[in-house]
Amino acid sequence: MLIAPGGWIFRSVGAESSMSAPIPIENGGDTGNGLPSGSSGVDKSVQREAVPSSSSMKSKMGTLFLVGISFALIFNSEYDPLLACIGFSVLAYVITTVLIPALSPDFVRVGFVGRDLGKKNRPLIPETMGAVCAVVYLITLFFFIPFLFAKFFVTETSGSGNREHVLDTATLHKGRSLRMFPHSKLAEFLAALLSSFSMLVLGVADDLFDIRWRNKLLLPAIAVLPLIFVYYVDFGVTFVAVPPVIWKLFNPEMVSNSAVPPVVDLGVFYYIYMLAMAIFCPNSINILAGINGLEAGQSLIIAISLLLNDAMYIIPGRILGLHPPHPATEAHLLSTYFVLPLIAVTAALLKYNWYPARVFVGDTYCYFAGMVFAQVGILGHFSKTLLLFLIPQIVNFIYSAPQLFKLVDCPRHRLPKLNTETGLLEPSRVYFDIPPKGAELLLLTSLGKLKLLDLERDPETRLIKSSSNFTIVNLVLTWAGPLREDRLAIVILGIQAGCCAVGLVARHTIAPALFGRDNL
């Protein structure tokens, strides 16, 4: 054999020496440990059995109905960007729903394919479908830009078709400048799109090349640079509110003014904090992963929570007119424009990624969704609220840290293990060839006593032989397992929803009390 089929498609051991039975690397969509996920073998049969597009009469009518609604909303939005955004989001949902099955065979053909290890027959299914979502999302927002700013063109005329603003020769050569046009808002919007685009490129590059850990950390920070620059230019707010209670601890002589909460200027540290957010959000979603529907499901819940949070600012003041619009209304409208289309494409993706998954989302999706969260948090100056919604991701990150930072052995795959007899998932385990000692032993025994790990000890020597892996997916299985894959996803998504609900309530009840002012 002159030309060994050596490309990434058969990168696995043995593929080069023997062609008769190439063994594709196993892949559970994402390995769930944030480490490079292996790519895998490609099977021609996958192309034939690729995601069937639902082409029944009923589904076609439904699609047409949705397209009709979206066009009605877009073209009757009468300069209300919110209506147009809803319209575009419905359209984005429809397009993503159609494109995912349509493009699946092409993704399989070029090698974006992975084995679903949570199923008995370990089917090969298309991978990196988040790229489709991201592209639809970005094109949607490209088309949305004129609608977002439409009202600023209208104020140029008296509305009866007259155009008072007659161009003279000087204007003609220098160009015109629309009065009142919010260029800074346009710059914000474009910078946010640029960050998302960078993450799409980074995500696809990661799915293709398996980028190294340190670059995965570095690159989102570069991606968010234009956004942070725009933030610096437009707001430059590096102050964070401090609860008066805490303030008084450090400044007992200060007279409390309940109307304006005390603030602390974080200065350059605020920018470092924003960079950290941009690194944390994409990566933290990428490591809470590994079972069908989990990545898209958690993102959907977080996005909906962000939308509800935005609604708390927008609806009472702007829509119901109960009181003057909240000062942060504009920021939360901008957030809504980014979050609504994300909800749309994520819902479409989840349709195909839910158990039993017909497509994988890929690192691309996790990075992309995470960056959208980070950018709305940064632009809207509500990153603390965002962190409330990311509590499961934060907990999972902290819980995973010992394995991520190699204090404890980290196997290549940390996703739960399928028990082929019961069809249920069980916690995956890390086996210790050398019995752990020192800090590792202390950590394992402490966590074991707190029931945060399932330890297996040698019956005679009492030395630790193995432990469940350090992810909350495995932890849930340790506590409540074994579970079928979809039940497990429901439990974790339930935790996510619960955390978001508590966060949302806390944000609008405890926080105003603590900070001495109300949002509404």
- Separation of CA 201 from chain center: 15
Q: Is 6 in the site for its own copies (CB under 8 A)?
A: yes
Compute the least distance from the CB of residue 435 to its own copies, in Å: 38
Residue ranges in 78-107 that form contacts with its own copies under rule CB under 8 A: 106
Q: Which residue among 13, 166, 255, 260 contacts its own copies (CB under 8 A)?
A: 260
Sequential DSSP letters for 252-265:
TTSPP-SSS--EEE
Torsion of CA 100, 106, 112, 114, to 10 degrees: 70
Q: Which residue among 190, 315, 395, 502 contacts its own copies (CB under 8 A)?
A: 190
Q: Which residue among 67, 222, 307, 514 contacts its own copies (CB under 8 A)?
A: 222
Token pair 């933030």 is found at 231
Pairing relation of β-strands 464-468 and 429-431?
antiparallel
Distance between CA atoms of residues 86 and 80, nearest Å: 10
Give the nearer residue to its own copies in terms of CB position, either 212 or 451. 212
Token pair 């009518």 is found at 61
Give the nearer residue to its own copies in terms of CB position, either 8 or 354. 8
**Please, are residues 291 and 472 in contact by the beta-carbon 8 Å criterion?**
no
Q: Which residue among 155, 184, 251, 256 contacts its own copies (CB under 8 A)?
A: 184
Residue ranges in 104-123 that form contacts with its own copies under rule CB under 8 A: 106, 108-111, 113
Compute the least distance from the CB of residue 111 to its own copies, in Å: 4
Helix (H, G, I), strand (E, B) or coil at 217: helix
Q: Is 341 in the site for its own copies (CB under 8 A)?
A: no
Give the nearer residue to its own copies in terms of CB position, either 110 or 154. 110
How many residues contact its own copies, by CB under 8 A?
74
Q: Which residue among 1, 13, 166, 268 contacts its own copies (CB under 8 A)?
A: 1
Q: Is 19 in the site for its own copies (CB under 8 A)?
A: yes
Residue ranges in 354-383 that form contacts with its own copies under rule CB under 8 A: none
Residue 39 makes CB contacts below 8 A (sequence gap 6+) with 8, 9, 11, 25, 27, 111, 113, 114, 127, 210
Compute the least distance from the CB of residue 396 to its own copies, in Å: 30
Q: Which residue among 60, 64, 78, 183 contacts its own copies (CB under 8 A)?
A: 183
Q: Which residue among 139, 307, 308, 501 contacts its own copies (CB under 8 A)?
A: 139
Segment near its own copies (CB under 8 A); pick from 26-34, 182-190, 292-300, 442-450: 182-190
Q: Is 267 in the site for its own copies (CB under 8 A)?
A: no
Residue ranges in 38-57 that form contacts with its own copies under rule CB under 8 A: 41-44, 47
Distance between CA atoms of residues 5 and 203, nearest Å: 26
Give the nearer residue to its own copies in terms of CB position, either 178 or 442. 178
Q: Is 194 in the site for its own copies (CB under 8 A)?
A: yes
Binding string to its own copies for residues 451 to 470, with x set by CB under 8 A, is what?
--------------------
Q: Is 268 in the site for its own copies (CB under 8 A)?
A: no
Sequential DSSP letters for 126-185:
E--THHHHHHHHHHHHHHHHHHHTHHHHHTTS-SSS-------HHHHHH----TT--HHH
HSE, side-chain direction, 13 A CA sphere, residue 220: 31
Helix residue ranges per DSSP H, 210-328: 213-223, 225-234, 244-250, 268-287, 294-314
430, β-bridge pairs? 467
Segment near its own copies (CB under 8 A); pick from 27-35, 193-201, 449-457, 469-477: 193-201
Structure tokens at 510: 């405890």
Q: Is 10 in the site for its own copies (CB under 8 A)?
A: yes
Distance between CA atoms of residues 301 and 9, nearest Å: 34
Compute the least distance from the CB of residue 285 to its own copies, in Å: 21
Q: Is 498 in the site for its own copies (CB under 8 A)?
A: no
Please state whether 438 falls in left (phi above 0), alpha (psi between -120 and 50) or beta: left
Q: Is 17 in the site for its own copies (CB under 8 A)?
A: no
Residue ranges in 152-181 that form contacts with its own copies under rule CB under 8 A: 169, 172-178, 181
Compute the least distance from the CB of residue 515 to its own copies, in Å: 12
Q: Which residue among 65, 143, 213, 269 contacts its own copies (CB under 8 A)?
A: 143
Residue ranges in 223-252 that form contacts with its own copies under rule CB under 8 A: 225-226, 229-230, 233-237, 239
Distance between CA atoms of residues 263 and 402, nearest Å: 35
Compute the least distance from the CB of residue 431 to its own copies, in Å: 29
Q: Which residue among 68, 327, 494, 498 contacts its own copies (CB under 8 A)?
A: 327
Give the nearer residue to its own copies in terms of CB position, either 80 or 330. 330
Helix residue ranges per DSSP H, 315-455: 329-353, 362-379, 383-389, 391-404, 438-449
Q: What is the enclosing helix (H) or strand (E) of 53?
A: none
